[in-house]
A and B are shown apart, each in its own frame.
Chain A
Amino acid sequence: MKRFVPLVIAIVAGFVLLIANFIPYAEGWGLTAQEWFNILAVGAMVLGGGNLIKLQLMKISSKKAGWGYAAVTVVCFFAAIFIGMGKFGVHPNELYPNYAWSGYYLEEGSGMWWIYQHMIVPLTSTMFAMLAFYVATAAFRAFRAKNTEATLLLVTAGIVLLGRTYAGVWLFEGWLPDWLLWLRFDNLTVWIMDVPNTAGTRAITIGIALGVVATSLRILLGVDRSYLGQD
């Protein structure tokens, strides 16, 4: 029963979404299924939040490595809930001026807005900015000319990198005859991106589409039930 009910729900929801895609009358069914999912996801947030706090408190009590971070997490978690639910700094909605909590919780100048603008956005940007360094180290490793394929990758990447900058034009300025202009890095870059790169991407995309169909059918037909915990 523990497996059967979720399986039936998955199959029914899957077929409903499938039918909604092709039958105009059933278009609304897909939206209803999506709303049900959102309701479930909100309910599950309590589960997730509870689990997060439980683990962090366990980490603090046992003084495991990095327990200080756990303490920060717990403090931030409760502070965000307190400020967000208390709607500090939020003005009442114009339509309901007598209800103190009727305003939007992320209203400009509110406590939650401040947290978002001055903590979440900078922290997120910092993590995102670190990508530049990771790209550099990954590129360094990927571009080592170990074999023919890696050398080809290195040459192609070099052309595209230069072609995306003014160097792609500047390097060939003045001496390249007109009939060889296609060899300029900026022109080669356009060709590389439009022809081999697009062809490769499309091949991968077609494969992905077929994979999605096959996986969906395995799930819809109940052939693949491992996501329910049954191999």
Chain B
Amino acid sequence: MKTHTIPMLAIATMLSMVSSAFAFGAAPAPPSNVVAVDAPDDAGEAIILSWALSPNDIFGTLESDTQATDPDLVVSVYYIERRTDSAAGNGSISEEDQGWQQISESAAGEVTTTDRKVQRGWSYSYRVCAVDIQKETSSWAATEEPVRPIMQPFNMSKAWLAIFMLMFGGLIAYFINVARSGKKLWVRPIAGLAAIDEAVGRATEMGRPVLFVTGIQDINEIQTLAGLTVLSRVAKTAAEYGAQIEVPTCRSLVMAAARETVESAYLAAGRPDSYQPDRIHYLTDEQFAFVAGVTGYMVREEPAACIYMGGFYAESLILAETGNHIGAIQVAGTAMPSQLPFFVAACDYTLIGEEFFAASAYLSDDPLQIGSLKGQDYGKFISVLILVIGICFATFASMSGSDENVWGASKNFIKDNMLGSAGLLPTGSGDTDIEGDDS
């Protein structure tokens, strides 16, 4: 018995060593279905690569039960390699790029990556392998045929945006032409704008200045431009009444533009001698330092009227409340939905969103600009129409209990294509890339 025990032990030890050696050398299964496609709606500058997860990837649906996977073979990362197959035009492929080059790594569970370091018109092949936690690599899974990034002439994901823009632009251009032909157009009065003249008049009577703040954004923002157009009118009124206007700015370029605006307004009012450029001055780019500067001025000089027209953030309430404490008549206008409640609570009049943008046209009394307002109103009507139609489709789809009918398809078309980025027509891919929720 003893004579058999030692050889048996030796054989068992050897078998165990061999099996553990094999386990150490085992590699995970490779990913599959490696597909490379040209990125849509771009200038031929990207290729999208996708693959199916390795069976040893615990993020895979079938491997979600981690106990079913050999822990040594669990995929930790995927290596992605690229080979340049052909060049376009006079370009030449470097020797390095003619072979496989690793371009990136993707973590376990990821099934797609975008290669943005490609040349338009060149063709590329890709291959992917899975790497386990022991750094063992699987065999490679490659694309079946090379892919060539090409430039699309138009970004189709924004097709409906372009259509809406052309539609609204056409309406506005049409009404501008109608106004140009001499037809009188009626637009509803905006209470906040009528209050501006009243505020400037009050400041004149009290012998105190008018404070005008154009927000804290730079001149390249549309809200600042809209604010400057209102400033033009306020400055003209102030010049006519003989009131002083103070314009602290948060950006140097805004200061330069505001000076031009106010100077022209004084000139138009026939009071160029009253124009004081130093009253339009730069404070600082820093948000709260700007607020400190402006509120300090408000407390010291006590302007009779404070007008805030532009893009504001958290400083809106500090400015408006300080103005309220000094008893100034306050008119505000902004297109920042989050700041509107603060202005409504603290100011006498507030131009809400579109009213703010309408202000410059409304104040100008220029028929051409009034025409654009009319076009804006019709644009609003079309928006409401689409909204009502969408609500009807959504309601009918909900009542039918399924999206697999004409109501559901129509609802999805409005949501995904018209308001989303799924392109001009439905493709059936169910792309729902849309901001906000569906509540």
B205 in the interface (beta carbon within 8 A) = no
| Cα separation A201 to B220 with both chains bound (whole Å) | 25
| Cα separation A223 to B179 with both chains bound (whole Å) | 12
A47 in the interface (beta carbon within 8 A) = yes
- Whether A139 pairs with B155 at a CB distance below 8 angstroms is no
A161 in the interface (beta carbon within 8 A) = no
Q: Smallest Cβ distance from B66 to chain A, in angstroms?
A: 36
B158: A residues at CB distance < 8 A: 21-22
Q: Smallest Cβ distance from B12 to chain A, in angstroms?
A: 57
- Whether B383 pairs with A134 at a CB distance below 8 angstroms is no
- Whether B345 pairs with A124 at a CB distance below 8 angstroms is no
Per the CB 8 Å criterion, the residue count for chain A at the interface is 66
B222: A residues at CB distance < 8 A: 212, 215-216
| Cα separation A217 to B286 with both chains bound (whole Å) | 31
- Whether B354 pairs with A210 at a CB distance below 8 angstroms is yes
A85 in the interface (beta carbon within 8 A) = no
Range for the number of chain B residues in contact with chain A: 35 or more
| Cα separation A128 to B252 with both chains bound (whole Å) | 23
What number of residue pairs across chains A and B have CB atoms under 8 A from each other? Answer: 217
A180 in the interface (beta carbon within 8 A) = no
How does the 8 Å CB contact mask read for B233-251 relative to A, with 1 for contact and 0 for none? Answer: 1001000000000000101
Q: Smallest Cβ distance from B381 to chain A, in angstroms?
A: 10
* Overall SS of chain A's interface: helix
- Whether A134 pairs with B268 at a CB distance below 8 angstroms is no
B229 in the interface (beta carbon within 8 A) = yes
- Whether B321 pairs with A138 at a CB distance below 8 angstroms is yes
| Cα separation A214 to B239 with both chains bound (whole Å) | 29
**A214 CB contact (under 8 Å) in B172, B263, B264, B278:** B172
B357 in the interface (beta carbon within 8 A) = yes
How does the 8 Å CB contact mask read for A1-35 relative to B, with 1 for contact and 0 for none? Answer: 00000000000000000000111110110000000
| Cα separation A97 to B392 with both chains bound (whole Å) | 68
- Whether B281 pairs with A52 at a CB distance below 8 angstroms is yes
A49: B residues at CB distance < 8 A: 252, 282
- Segment touching B, from A36-44, A86-94, A102-110: A36-44
- Whether B357 pairs with A211 at a CB distance below 8 angstroms is yes
B165 in the interface (beta carbon within 8 A) = yes
A198 in the interface (beta carbon within 8 A) = yes
* Overall SS of chain B's interface: helix
Question: Quick one: given A51-B282, A213-B379, A215-B222, are A25 and B151 in contact (CB under 8 Å)?
Answer: yes
**B153 CB contact (under 8 Å) in A23, A46, A65, A206:** A23
B292: A residues at CB distance < 8 A: 123, 127
| Cα separation A226 to B226 with both chains bound (whole Å) | 9
How does the 8 Å CB contact mask read for A184-205 relative to B, with 1 for contact and 0 for none? Answer: 0000000000110010010011
Q: Smallest Cβ distance from B119 to chain A, in angstroms?
A: 15
| Cα separation A210 to B373 with both chains bound (whole Å) | 10
6 tightest A-B CB contacts, nearest first: A48-B252, A211-B357, A229-B264, A207-B354, A48-B282, A127-B288
Residues of B with Cβ closer than 8 Å to A? 41-44, 151-155, 158, 161-162, 165, 168-169, 172-173, 176, 218, 220, 222, 225-226, 228-229, 232-233, 236, 249, 251-253, 255-257, 260-265, 268, 278, 281-284, 286-289, 291-292, 296, 300, 314, 317-318, 320-321, 324, 335, 337, 340, 342, 344-346, 352-354, 356-358, 360-361, 364, 366, 368-369, 372-373, 375-376, 379-380, 383, 387, 439
22 A-B Cβ contacts within 8 A?
Answer: A22-B162, A23-B155, A24-B43, A25-B43, A25-B153, A51-B282, A52-B284, A65-B300, A66-B296, A123-B288, A127-B291, A127-B292, A138-B324, A205-B337, A210-B383, A212-B357, A223-B368, A226-B228, A226-B229, A226-B232, A226-B364, A229-B262
